[in-house]
Structure formats: C-alpha cells, structure tokens
Amino acid sequence: MPSVEAAFHDFLKALTGIFSAIANSIFGVFRAVLALFQEVFGAVFHLFNALAHLVTDLTQTMFGFVFANFFALLIIGGGVYWYTQRQGSSVSKGKRKA
C-alpha cells in the first residue's frame, strides 16, 4: 500500500513540472520576441548602411554631387508639398473664430 508521503511527493513533483514548463514557455516567448527585435534592428541598420553607401557612391563625382543635390531638393520639396496639402485640408475642415 502506497504511503501518503509518497503521494504528496508525486503531487509536488507534478506541480513543479507544470510550473517549470510554464516558466520555460514564458522564457521561450521572451527569447523569441528579443530575437525578433534583434532581427528587425539588424535589418534597419543594414538598410541605413546601404543608403549611406548609395549616397557616398552617388556623390563621388561632380555629376553625382549635382544629381544628389537635385534628388535632395526633390525629396524636401515633396515633403513640403505633402505637409502643406495635409495642413490645408485639416485647416479648411475646422471652424473659424470671429
């Protein structure tokens, strides 16, 4: 006949097994999230690195320098146009103060 002490020992062993499995699952999810952020950060860093190489390659010659300046003006002008169009639509929807 099994003893009560052996039954409690088996019960506690099962409980610790369950809690250790839950803890391992939580740590596994935490490691997966950290790995995701590491990969995303690495990809963004690689993108900016490639962009920096593109800019340096384009501006090595005089023609590249002029082209890069026109490209920068195009980007800045597009941003200003987008900003003014966005502000104009939000201002026109508001009420006028007397």
The pLDDT tens digits for 8-30 are 999 999 999 999 999 999 999 99
Judge whether 68 and 58 are in contact, CB under 8 Å: yes
Question: Residue 59 pLDDT more than 80?
Answer: no
What amino acid occupies position 18?
A: I
Q: Tell me the pLDDT tens digit for each residue of 71-90.
A: 899 999 999 999 999 887 65
Domain ranges of the chain: 1-58, 61-92
Is the pLDDT higher at 60 or at 8?
Answer: 8
Residue 92's pLDDT is: 54
* Residues 36, 41: Cα–Cα separation, whole Å: 9
Residue 95's region, left for phi above 0, alpha for psi from -120 to 50, else beta, is beta
Among 36-45, 54-63, 69-78, the range of highest mean pLDDT: 36-45
- Chain-wide mean pLDDT for the chain? 87
